[in-house]
Chain A
Amino acid sequence: MTTDPSGGAVFFGDPDSLRDPDYLVGPDPLDHLEGLGFPGPPPPGSVPGRRGGTAPRDTWGSDRGLDFTERELAFRAEARQWLADHSPGRLPSMDTPRGARAHREWERELAAARWSVVAWPEAFGGRDASLVEWVLFEEEYYRAGAPTRIAQNGISLLAPIVFAHGTPEQQQRILPRMADGTDVWAQAWSEPEAGSDLAGIRSRATRAEGGWILNGQKIWSSRAPFADFGFGLFRSDPDAERHRGLTYFLFPLDAPGVTVRPIAQLDGDPGFAEIFFDDVFVPDADVLGGVGDGWRVAMSTAGNERGLSLRSPGRFLAAADRLVDLWRGRGTDQPAATERVVDAWIGAQAYRYYTWDTVDRLRAGGDVGAHGSVNKLFWSQLDVDLHETALDLLGPEQELVGPWIDDYLFALGGPIYAGTNEIQRTIVAERLLQLPRGDERRPRTDREARA
């Protein structure tokens, strides 16, 4: 991979020196977690089996009326025990060299115990877990305070497509190495001129002997600075209609002609990157799905991203628990903050039940479809509200860099990525409420409007 650290305006210096705790002068920021209301490292020997922090109080309640089967409960118990014994707690940011290494290490540990991709078939390192078991695993994962997954984009956005549209050869080549964190994948869809209007992509693929030549530019590709491969759409037929003539390609980020230029996100870490393609050769074996069929193939994952796969409820339940803990420690006498803490907690509960409702619908043969947009609108707003509430509770300390700030800055991206919330509202209105599309895209003048 060729990285270009001198990226001028968009990249503020060497990614390594900016945020990697190895390079920081002074104590490791993770040492301050306790003071900021995050569970810190446990006193030696206090929590048997736990390597990382102590989990906050768990307000998720019992199973309530959810009626899990014996098998589901046994699966959950096994996951809970393993995670309690092995979760490393928070790791350094995965968007730093040290953090990326630590996260890959964690992926390998998960995979060795077959917890990295529980819903995959056993042949590919999974446990053939049902949808219910998968959600239970996710709940346990966050309950244990385990780190966010560096393999996430690959597992939730690419893998479903490889299972559905990949050749057996592609499946063998891609999936096991994704499952154990050997290969980290980055999604390369957006372009400078194609954000919300994704079908406007211009990066092109031209036919060559035995494959294709890629040219153009992608941007905002999460994980790309430390990832190994990318997947994305290219225009393979310049004469076809916007949504046609697109093809889905896989490519190594260190291929000749690929330049990855990291971009620092709000938190200063190079969380995403620009990717430049300069006559990059991709063999036919790295076309995913049919030539010209890229849009349809890609859209079959967009629903996943907004719907279940990206934001399982455990994430918000755990964050709400941390918030409640913070509030108990320092804010119960602030009535305005109390209301917001309660609302964040309610939101996490609602998200949990909404998810179980969705799971039931999917099991009955339904699909996520435009409901994924409803889901995305809810969790992205909840995430921002919850973290803003936490910061307000911290008072003047709120500006101190630490886990709350990190999580807050992360949450701020939610309403933008995976399709902005404005786009999602339009989808909900047009597809679920059946409101007329009209031709609002046509510019109108004031005069015309009054006429």
Chain B
Amino acid sequence: MRFALTDEQRAFADALDALLAAADVPAATRRWADGDPADGLHLWGRLADLGVTALGVPEEHGGLGGTPLDVAVALERLGYHGVPGPWIESVALAPALLADAAPEVLPELAKGTARVTCAALPWAPHALDADTATHVYLLTGGALSRARVDRPLRSVDPARALAPLTPEETIGTVDDRVVDQVALGTAAWLVGAGQRLLDDTVAYVTARRQFGRLIGEYQAVKHALADVRVGLDFARPLVGGAARSLGSAVTPEDASREVSAAKVLASDAAHRAARTALQLHGAIGYTREFDLSLWLLRVRALLGAWGTPAFHRARIAASLRGA
């Protein structure tokens, strides 16, 4: 029996942390939101050099042939650092999405020269960052098409440019279950983002004083943060378990149900982390200029991306009903 991450997975996560902690990700994210993607694209290249974009791509297409768990580990770290761009779509979804329909894109994807985005009904009605993506697809009822980008829409997270798509030519049929990969990637990202919100809030309450003492000494503050920790600690293994299911010989139905469970619990945990973080920061947390907003707003956006909690709960209910 083995459940813990391997040494390799840990080392990879550490390497990502080192790179991203040294890069000024919040600045890159703010510029990305202002329509200047240069820093974000530079970061894309550096993460590609580390192998992130190659993780999910099979070796015969120039990738690393990693498992869904490898992908989840990486996306959790990207979520922790709040990197901008269609990462979940490119890393978790694109390899499976394009495996048969457009395998020629895979080597570029692995190298990091392709950035793929995709909308899929009813999971994600709008494509993320279609303006900066190199490949834009629409998945409807199993049909995969190249797509044209319509007038963009604003997301609660200014660093997420969203666009409705109009399908152009159909390039293949795809099993809808590929969407499980991206839903799971979103769950992993949410766990990372939630952990970041917790860490930043712990740091804040151990520095901020009121009534002559650190606010972290107050039990109401401690207990709120303890609940955040419990939520994240239980969401993480569920994400790991679902990733293992996706990568193993489990029936697709079981794996889908676990992915939904992971997305629901990760959403709940990240949401609690976000609400608690805002509350404990007080007014400074309510501002755009303070970096906390980058994670607060991203979490809010991702709660609805690739299946809302209600959608995933309904999917679990349907599966349990028919079990």
Interface residues in chain A, defined as those with a beta carbon under 8 Å from any beta carbon in chain B? 57, 59, 61-62, 64-69, 72, 132, 324, 327-328, 332, 338-339, 341-343, 345-347, 349-354, 356-357, 359-361, 364, 371, 374, 377-378, 422, 424-426, 428-430, 432-440, 449-450
The 10 closest A-B pairs by CB, nearest first: A65-B244, A438-B217, A429-B222, A353-B237, A425-B226, A428-B226, A353-B241, A360-B4, A425-B223, A356-B3
- Given the interface pairs A64-B250, A353-B241, the reply to whether A426 lies near B219 with Cβ below 8 Å is yes
- The reply to whether A59 and B323 contact each other, CB–CB distance below 8 Å, is yes
- 10 residue pairs from A and B, CB less than 8 Å apart: A62-B251, A64-B245, A69-B1, A72-B1, A353-B238, A356-B1, A371-B233, A424-B226, A438-B213, A440-B218
Residues of A within 8 A of B240 (CB): 353, 357
By secondary structure, the B interface counts as helix
For the complex, is B316 an interface residue (Cβ under 8 Å from A)? yes
- The reply to whether A422 and B223 contact each other, CB–CB distance below 8 Å, is yes
Determine the distance from Cα of A450 to Cα of B211 in the docked complex, in whole angstroms: 7
User: Which residues of B (42-83) have their CB < 8 Å from a CB of A?
Assistant: 69
- Given the interface pairs A353-B240, A357-B240, the reply to whether A374 lies near B230 with Cβ below 8 Å is yes
Determine the distance from Cα of A134 to Cα of B198 in the docked complex, in whole angstroms: 34
Per-residue contact bits, chain B 279-322, to A (CB 8 Å; 1 contact, 0 not): 00000000000000000000000000000000001001100110
- The reply to whether A356 and B226 contact each other, CB–CB distance below 8 Å, is no
- The reply to whether A350 and B226 contact each other, CB–CB distance below 8 Å, is no
Q: Give the most central of A64, A65, A68, A364: most B CB within 10 Å.
A: A65
Determine the distance from Cα of A360 to Cα of B230 in the docked complex, in whole angstroms: 19
Which one of A342, A353, A439 lies within 8 Å of B3 (CB-CB)? A353
For the complex, is B184 an interface residue (Cβ under 8 Å from A)? no
For the complex, is B134 an interface residue (Cβ under 8 Å from A)? no
- Nearest Cβ in chain B — how far from A118, in angstroms? 16
Binds A, one of B112-120, B137-145, B155-163, B258-266: B258-266
**What is the chain B residue whose CB lies nearest that of A449?**
B211
- The reply to whether B214 and A436 contact each other, CB–CB distance below 8 Å, is yes
- The reply to whether B233 and A354 contact each other, CB–CB distance below 8 Å, is yes
Residues of A within 8 A of B254 (CB): 61-62, 64
**What is the chain B residue whose CB lies nearest that of A430?**
B222
User: Which residues of B (209-237) have their CB < 8 Å from a CB of A?
Assistant: 211, 213-214, 216-219, 221-223, 225-227, 229-230, 233-237
Determine the distance from Cα of A347 to Cα of B233 in the docked complex, in whole angstroms: 12
Which one of B3, B4, B225, B251 lies within 8 Å of A433 (CB-CB)? B225
Residues of B within 8 A of A438 (CB): 213-214, 216-218
Residues of B within 8 A of A433 (CB): 198, 202, 222, 225-226, 229
Determine the distance from Cα of A332 to Cα of B221 in the docked complex, in whole angstroms: 39
- Given the interface pairs A65-B248, A426-B222, A429-B225, the reply to whether A377 lies near B230 with Cβ below 8 Å is yes
- The reply to whether A67 and B320 contact each other, CB–CB distance below 8 Å, is no
- The reply to whether A360 and B3 contact each other, CB–CB distance below 8 Å, is yes
- The reply to whether A66 and B323 contact each other, CB–CB distance below 8 Å, is no
- Nearest Cβ in chain A — how far from B229, in angstroms? 6
- The reply to whether A350 and B229 contact each other, CB–CB distance below 8 Å, is no
Q: How many A-B residue pairs lie within 8 Å, measured between CB atoms?
A: 168
- Given the interface pairs A350-B237, A364-B4, A438-B217, the reply to whether A342 lies near B316 with Cβ below 8 Å is yes
Which one of A61, A354, A357, A430 lies within 8 Å of B250 (CB-CB)? A61
- Nearest Cβ in chain B — how far from A382, in angstroms? 9
Residues of A within 8 A of B264 (CB): 342-343, 346
Which one of A338, A352, A425 lies within 8 Å of B222 (CB-CB)? A425
- Given the interface pairs A64-B258, A350-B261, A425-B227, the reply to whether A57 lies near B1 with Cβ below 8 Å is no
Which one of B206, B244, B247, B323 lies within 8 Å of A435 (CB-CB)? B206
Which one of B202, B217, B237, B257 lies within 8 Å of A357 (CB-CB)? B237
Residues of B within 8 A of A437 (CB): 217
- The reply to whether A341 and B261 contact each other, CB–CB distance below 8 Å, is no
User: Which residues of B (121-140) have their CB < 8 Å from a CB of A?
Assistant: none
Residues of A within 8 A of B225 (CB): 429, 433, 435
For the complex, is B205 an interface residue (Cβ under 8 Å from A)? yes
Q: Give the most central of B206, B225, B258, B320: most A CB within 10 Å.
A: B320
- The reply to whether A357 and B226 contact each other, CB–CB distance below 8 Å, is no
- Nearest Cβ in chain A — how far from B225, in angstroms? 6
- The reply to whether B316 and A426 contact each other, CB–CB distance below 8 Å, is no
Residues of B within 8 A of A65 (CB): 69, 241, 243-245, 247-248, 250
- The reply to whether A361 and B244 contact each other, CB–CB distance below 8 Å, is no
- The reply to whether A342 and B217 contact each other, CB–CB distance below 8 Å, is no
Determine the distance from Cα of A364 to Cα of B7 in the docked complex, in whole angstroms: 12
- Nearest Cβ in chain A — how far from B204, in angstroms? 11
Q: Give the most central of A69, A377, A378: most B CB within 10 Å.
A: A377
- Nearest Cβ in chain B — how far from A347, in angstroms? 8
Residues of B within 8 A of A332 (CB): 317, 321
Residues of B within 8 A of A346 (CB): 238, 261, 264-265, 316
Determine the distance from Cα of A432 to Cα of B198 in the docked complex, in whole angstroms: 12
Residues of A within 8 A of B4 (CB): 357, 360-361, 364
- Nearest Cβ in chain A — how far from B100, in angstroms? 25
- Nearest Cβ in chain B — how far from A274, in angstroms? 30
Residues of A within 8 A of B206 (CB): 434-436
Residues of B within 8 A of A341 (CB): 317, 320
Determine the distance from Cα of A345 to Cα of B225 in the docked complex, in whole angstroms: 25
- Nearest Cβ in chain A — how far from B312, in angstroms? 9
Determine the distance from Cα of A64 to Cα of B205 in the docked complex, in whole angstroms: 40
Determine the distance from Cα of A377 to Cα of B321 in the docked complex, in whole angstroms: 29
- Given the interface pairs A65-B247, A449-B211, the reply to whether A350 lies near B235 with Cβ below 8 Å is yes
Determine the distance from Cα of A434 to Cα of B216 in the docked complex, in whole angstroms: 10
- Nearest Cβ in chain A — how far from B187, in angstroms? 12
Which one of A354, A429, A430, A449 lies within 8 Å of B237 (CB-CB)? A354
- Nearest Cβ in chain B — how far from A235, in angstroms? 28
Determine the distance from Cα of A175 to Cα of B219 in the docked complex, in whole angstroms: 42
Other 14 A-B pairs with CB < 8 A, given A66-B244, A434-B206, A438-B216: A67-B2, A338-B317, A341-B317, A343-B313, A346-B238, A346-B264, A357-B3, A360-B3, A424-B226, A425-B223, A426-B223, A429-B223, A429-B226, A435-B221
**What is the chain A residue whose CB lies nearest that of B261?**
A346
**What is the chain B residue whose CB lies nearest that of A131?**
B1
- Given the interface pairs A59-B320, A440-B218, the reply to whether A349 lies near B258 with Cβ below 8 Å is yes
- The reply to whether B222 and A435 contact each other, CB–CB distance below 8 Å, is yes
Which one of B218, B234, B248 lies within 8 Å of A64 (CB-CB)? B248
- Given the interface pairs A346-B264, A353-B3, A422-B223, the reply to whether A378 lies near B234 with Cβ below 8 Å is yes
**What is the chain B residue whose CB lies nearest that of A132?**
B1
Determine the distance from Cα of A360 to Cα of B236 in the docked complex, in whole angstroms: 14
Determine the distance from Cα of A332 to Cα of B264 in the docked complex, in whole angstroms: 19
- Nearest Cβ in chain B — how far from A377, in angstroms? 5
- The reply to whether A436 and B321 contact each other, CB–CB distance below 8 Å, is no
- Nearest Cβ in chain A — how far from B197, in angstroms? 13
Residues of A within 8 A of B251 (CB): 62
Determine the distance from Cα of A295 to Cα of B178 in the docked complex, in whole angstroms: 54
Determine the distance from Cα of A111 to Cα of B214 in the docked complex, in whole angstroms: 55
